[in-house]
């Protein structure tokens, strides 16, 4: 394993989650940011770099910095969809390594449930070649990938359902999770069909919510209140924007981002104790596990069978209940980081993975378009 | 058939494609420099970055690369479910998103399809595809 320590995550927090009709996106981000800085023992005046992603303002960083009263010398609004926040962590580490700043605040906030903005019809630029056919943007695109995977490898709806069921088991252990009643495979298969082969319970939630992650240089991390969670590796990649232009519907750019992250961290797949993997849909998880090299191409269905990723299974994954059962306010990536950090600090209570030392976090954005992998570890 | 699909926002780059469809022609592009076929329309070749791009008429034949049956749709498509959206790979090697016309039970990945020109309004036509061996 890499022994050089450059930057660490020193604070994480969620805002109110679920249905939050009384808070706007700025309030949600401020609430999470304050809690994350508090647990680190830092203040807003320690922050010298601000990272956010969202479509709630023409220039979100400007609005957010003004609202929070934060003056920054570095600003990054990289938006590659749900994986943006894993990208932000990588970019923050690079900026710290270059000596550009010491404390980066990464935030996200969304009122996706209270004020749904998706699925409005407008078809300019490259959208004009897809929108007229009525594909329900995100779920339809993932359904095309799932159908192809089934055709090519014989993957079944039961195998996809394994992911939803295992993830719900974790959610039953998490008081903050939105959906906590247990489900079984037949519940998933009998839920309403949305876009074949994906059922309602193959799809993530639509919630409100926000989160914050504080990344600090090694020097700052050594004097913060919490045990530092070191950023050991990072990689990112994107392969397409529209689903029609995905080179191979069964292979995501997690193959590239994952390889870079593992190389940087200097560890192998079997050293990962806990995995937090973007689960916008059950198929997202299967494709990601394959592309990250946890199994061979086409073997994702087999890999997750027998509730392997559930509590007590030998591959603990999405231990907060995931986007499928805990929360999913549009761009979910920041919540993967929050849970991985809590697992490595042994703060995950009933859902704690015994003695977790190394965590893999993988964000997927767009329609399987972007990938960003972060590997975290504690001393 | 839903005839209330809003017209896409055309621009100078895409106009020949949409105008071709009104004349029952499926037009794609080809790079004169590297000879690669291109879809969607662009001013530069995404393979070699040449600006030497020409339009050409596609065969209108291809096969289904993937598809989904949509049961829950939005906006103008809400009332139309279930319908089949697919990605078709043309014989020329480029892929397009499209509607697949055919019996649900007959539609499968790798089946051969042929373009049909679906008139939506007087000056708006969409290229749908139907199973080649269906009547």
Question: Is there a single domain that holds both residue A289 and residue A356?
Answer: yes
Q: Would B103 be classed as within a structural domain?
A: yes
Question: Is there a single domain that holds both residue A81 and residue A156?
Answer: no
For A247, the closest chain B residue by CA position comes to: B95
Residues of A in contact with B109 (CB under 8 A): 147-148, 151
The residue among B20, B70, B105 with the most chain A CBs within 10 A of its CB, best to mutate, is B70
Question: Is there a single domain that holds both residue A221 and residue A300?
Answer: no
Total of domains in chain A: 2
Question: Is there a single domain that holds both residue A32 and residue A145?
Answer: no
Residues of B in contact with A127 (CB under 8 A): 8
First-residue to last-residue Cα distance in chain B: 18
The pLDDT of residue B3 is 58
User: Which residues span the domain enclosing A176?
Assistant: 136-203+234-377
Q: At residue A35, does pLDDT exceed 70?
A: yes
Q: Which of B71, B75, B85 sits opposite A121 (nearest CB)?
A: B75
pTM of this structure? 0.97
What CATH number does the domain containing A31 carry?
3.40.47.10
Identify whether A278 is a catalytic site residue: yes
A128:B87 CB<8 A: no
Residue A355, judged by CB atoms within 10 A of its CB (0-12, 13-18, 19+), counts as exposed
Distance from CA of A169 to the nearest CA of B (A): 27
What would the pLDDT profile of A241-288 be if each residue is shown by its tens digit? 999 999 999 999 999 999 999 999 999 999 999 999 999 999 999 999
Question: Is there a single domain that holds both residue A275 and residue A291?
Answer: yes
* ipTM surpassing 0.85: yes
The dihedrals phi and psi of A191, each to the nearest 5 degrees, come to: -75, 160
For B5, the closest chain A residue by CA position comes to: A132
The residue among A123, A124, A129 with the most chain B CBs within 10 A of its CB, best to mutate, is A129
Question: Is there a single domain that holds both residue A102 and residue A247?
Answer: no
- Which residue out of A108, A142, A153, A278 is catalytically annotated? A278
Q: Would A126 be classed as within a structural domain?
A: no
Q: Would A242 be classed as within a structural domain?
A: yes
For A195, the closest chain B residue by CA position comes to: B70
What average pLDDT does chain A have? 96
Tokens of A297: 């191409």
CB contacts < 8 A, A to B, total: 111
Give the closest residue to B118 by CA, choosing from B14, B18, B16. Answer: B18
User: Which residues span the domain enclosing B122?
Assistant: 15-131
B82 upstream amide cis, omega within 30 of 0? yes
**Mean per-residue pLDDT for A198-224?**
97
Total of domains in chain B: 1
DSSP state of B65: E
**Mean per-residue pLDDT for A201-224?**
97
Question: Is there a single domain that holds both residue A165 and residue A216?
Answer: no
What CATH number does the domain containing B118 carry?
2.40.50
Tokens of A319: 């231990």
The pLDDT of residue B75 is 86
Q: Would A130 be classed as within a structural domain?
A: no
- Band (A118; pLDDT cuts 50, 70, 90): low
The pLDDT of residue B135 is 46
Q: Which of A120, A147, A151 sits opposite B75 (nearest CB)?
A: A120
Residues of B in contact with A131 (CB under 8 A): 8
Q: Would B70 be classed as within a structural domain?
A: yes
A243:B87 CB<8 A: yes
Question: Is there a single domain that holds both residue A318 and residue A362?
Answer: yes
B77:A134 CB<8 A: yes
**Mean per-residue pLDDT for A191-216?**
97
Q: Which of A41-55, A189-203, A222-236, B1-15 has the lowest mean pLDDT?
A: B1-15
CA dist list (Å): A266 to A97, A192, A293: 18, 44, 15
Distance from CA of B135 to the nearest CA of A (A): 23
Q: Which of B14, B70, B80 sits opposite A195 (nearest CB)?
A: B70
For A125, the closest chain B residue by CA position comes to: B9
**Mean per-residue pLDDT for A125-135?**
93
What's the CA gap between A185 and A159, in Å, rounded? 9
Report percent pLDDT > 70 for chain A.
Answer: 98
Identify whether A74 is a catalytic site residue: no
B99–chain A Cβ distance below 8 A for any pair: yes
Tokens of A10: 């020193």
Report the residue count for chain B.
Answer: 135
Q: At residue A1, does pLDDT exceed 90?
A: no
Q: Would A129 be classed as within a structural domain?
A: no
Q: Contact at 8 Å (CB) between A173 and A311?
A: yes
Question: Is there a single domain that holds both residue A90 and residue A177?
Answer: no
Enumerate chain A positions whose Cβ falls within 8 A of a Cβ in B: 119-137, 139-140, 143-145, 147-148, 151, 192-198, 242-245, 249
Question: Is there a single domain that holds both residue A151 and residue A271?
Answer: yes
Q: Which of B8, B75, B95 sits opposite A244 (nearest CB)?
A: B95
- Band (A121; pLDDT cuts 50, 70, 90): low
Q: Which of B8, B85, B110 sits opposite A135 (nearest CB)?
A: B85
What would the pLDDT profile of A288-297 be if each residue is shown by its tens digit? 999 999 999 9
Tokens of B2: 């839903």
What's the CA gap between A318 and A320, in Å, rounded? 6
Q: Would A127 be classed as within a structural domain?
A: no
Question: Is there a single domain that holds both residue A70 and residue A156?
Answer: no
The pLDDT of residue A120 is 60
The pLDDT of residue A145 is 98
* Residue-by-residue pLDDT tens, chain B, 135 positions: 555 787 888 889 999 999 999 999 999 999 999 999 999 999 999 999 999 999 999 999 999 999 999 999 988 899 999 999 999 999 999 999 999 999 999 999 999 999 999 999 999 999 999 999 864
Question: Is there a single domain that holds both residue A277 and residue A265?
Answer: yes
Does the CA dihedral A142-A148-A153-A154 come out positive or negative? positive
First-residue to last-residue Cα distance in chain A: 11
Contact map slice: B 15-74 vs A, CB within 8 A: 39-40, 65-74
The pLDDT of residue A66 is 97
């Amino acid at each position: 394993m890499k022994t050089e320590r450059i930057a660490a995550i020193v604070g994480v927090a969620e805002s109110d989650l679920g249905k939050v009709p009384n808070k706007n996106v700025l309030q949600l981000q401020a609430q999470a940011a304050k809690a994350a800085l508090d647990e680190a023992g830092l203040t807003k005046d320690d922050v010298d770099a601000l990272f956010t992603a969202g479509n709630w303002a023409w220039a979100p960083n400007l609005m957010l910095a003004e609202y929070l009263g934060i003056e920054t010398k570095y600003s990054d609004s990289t938006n590659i969809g749900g994986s943006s926040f894993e990208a932000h962590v990588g970019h923050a580490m690079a900026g710290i390594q270059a000596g550009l700043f010491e404390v980066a605040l990464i935030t996200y906030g969304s009122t996706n449930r209270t004020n749904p903005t998706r699925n409005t019809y407008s078809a300019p630029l490259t959208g004009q070649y897809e929108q007229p056919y009525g594909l329900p943007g995100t779920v339809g695109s993932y359904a095309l990938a799932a159908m192809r995977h089934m055709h090519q490898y014989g993957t079944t709806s039961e195998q996809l359902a394994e992911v939803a069921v295992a993830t719900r088991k974790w959610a039953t252990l998490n008081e903050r999770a939105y959906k906590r009643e247990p489900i079984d495979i037949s519940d998933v298969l009998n839920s309403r069909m949305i876009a074949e082969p994906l059922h309602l319970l193959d799809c993530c939630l639509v919630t409100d919510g926000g989160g914050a992650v504080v990344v600090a240089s090694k020097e700052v991390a050594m004097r913060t209140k919490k045990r530092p969670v070191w950023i050991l590796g990072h990689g990112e990649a994107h392969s397409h924007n529209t689903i029609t232009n995905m080179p191979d519907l069964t292979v995501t750019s997690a193959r590239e981002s994952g390889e870079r992250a593992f190389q940087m961290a200097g560890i192998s797949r079997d050293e990962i104790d806990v995995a937090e993997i973007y689960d916008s849909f059950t198929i997202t998880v299967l494709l990601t596990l394959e592309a990250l090299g946890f199994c061979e191409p086409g073997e994702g269905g087999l890999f997750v069978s027998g509730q392997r990723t559930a509590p007590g299974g030998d591959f603990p994954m999405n231990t907060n209940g995931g986007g499928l059962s805990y929360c999913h306010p549009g761009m979910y990536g920041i919540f993967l980081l929050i849970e991985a950090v809590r697992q490595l600090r042994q703060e995950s209570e009933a859902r704690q993975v015994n003695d977790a030392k190394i965590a893999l976090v993988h964000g997927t954005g767009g329609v399987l378009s972007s990938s960003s992998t972060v590997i975290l570890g504690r001393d | 058939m839903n005839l209330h699909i809003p017209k896409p926002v055309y621009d100078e780059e895409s106009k020949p494609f949409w105008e071709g469809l009104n004349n029952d022609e499926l037009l794609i592009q080809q790079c004169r420099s590297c000879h690669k076929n291109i879809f969607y329309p662009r001013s530069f070749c995404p393979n070699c970055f040449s600006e030497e791009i020409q339009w050409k008429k596609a065969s209108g034949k291809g096969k289904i690369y993937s598809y989904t049956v949509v049961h829950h749709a939005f906006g103008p498509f809400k009332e139309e479910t279930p319908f089949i959206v697919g990605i078709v790979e043309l014989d020329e090697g480029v892929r397009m998103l499209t509607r697949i016309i055919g019996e649900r039970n007959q539609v499968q990945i790798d089946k051969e399809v042929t373009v049909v020109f679906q008139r939506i309004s007087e000056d708006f036509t969409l290229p749908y595809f139907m199973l080649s061996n269906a009547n």
